[in-house]
Amino acid sequence: MQRYQHLEAVIFDWAGTVVDFGSFAPTQVLIDVFAEIGITVSMAEARVPMGLAKWDHIQALGRLPGVAERWQARFGRAMNDTDVDRLYQQFMPLQVARVGEYSAPIPGAIDTVNLLRQRGLKIGSCSGYPRVVMDRLLPLAAAAGYAPDHTVATDDLAAGGRPGPWMALDNVIELAVSDVRHCVKVDDTAPGIAEGLRAGMWTVGLSASGNAVGLTAEKWSALSPAHQAEYRAPAEAQLTTAGAHYVVDTIAELPAVLMQIEARLAAGERP
């Protein structure tokens, strides 16, 4: 088995990256929470701030023009931080209760992670989920065959979450990685790509399995190649614009990308 000579670790996002093809767990719960107070939020709107910590996600969602207009019509004023706090308190128990419904590994994820381990890489992870949700998700993922060496939740660190570099860098410390340039951050959202770039890492965006396409694995597989291309193009553009060094459909394509990064490192290139 060929081992990497330069790469030391891969740091994965969770929903839309390793589990939950289409990243439905956060978005559907947010839609339901807003509906409870009489505000309609579309799936497309709920996906716009994806990758942020969930309090920040709710705040950003309330600032979208369409949602802000509906909020103003419903309550006669703009959303404020107290409203965000209240929605977050409603969101959390629902997210904890329902995250298991969307915890299935993305096709190819377990085999890919096992291959990377065999090639000598450490496996880190971080998420826009808070710790209470991660504590629910971690044992479910482990039972399905995925147990990263380290996991950081968005509220674990005093510095905060994405798009800052801190969760990715916490993985560097805990995994005892010697050089951030020997790390690859894999994510399906622009804030997650920004996180990796700000941490000085190589970044790989996942288009088909992630938030921007937003389809189940079954619906994605049922599309013709032409229709897949239509869905893929805006997702690729979003991730490329965010600065991703590479963009592929799913985690199953990652090993080939890592070989390219390894070759670039050997040639003296840096992220």
Contact 204, 156 (CB under 8 A): no
Of the candidates 13, 12, 14, 22, the residue with the CA atom closest to the CA atom of residue 207: 22
For residue 13, indicate whether it is catalytic: yes
Token pair for 209: 């399995």
Strand partners, 151: 125
Q: Give me the pLDDT at residue 3, please.
A: 86
At 167, the pLDDT band (50, 70, 90 cuts) reads very high
* Rounded Cα gap, residues 65 and 61, in angstroms: 9
Percent of the chain with pLDDT over 70: 100
At 52, the pLDDT band (50, 70, 90 cuts) reads confident
* Rounded Cα gap, residues 98 and 133, in angstroms: 10
* Rounded Cα gap, residues 77 and 219, in angstroms: 40
Contact 245, 269 (CB under 8 A): no
Of the candidates 92, 121, 231, 100, the residue with the CA atom closest to the CA atom of residue 186: 121
Distances (CA, A) of 43 to 16, 184, 212, 214, 256: 15, 30, 11, 9, 33
Show the domains of the chain with their CATH numbers: 9-24+102-266 (3.40.50.1000), 25-101 (1.10.150.240)
**pLDDT, average across residues 160-189:** 97
At 2, the pLDDT band (50, 70, 90 cuts) reads confident
Strand partners, 206: 248
pLDDT at 196 > cutoff 90: yes
pTM to 2 decimal places: 0.91
The SS3 assignment for 61 reads: helix
Q: Give me the pLDDT at residue 26, please.
A: 83
Distances (CA, A) of 30 to 23, 40, 120: 12, 10, 39
Query: Of these residues, 20, 54, 170, 188, which one is catalytic?
Result: 54
**pLDDT, average across residues 173-197:** 97
pLDDT at 1 > cutoff 80: no
Q: What residue has token string 């941490």?
A: 199
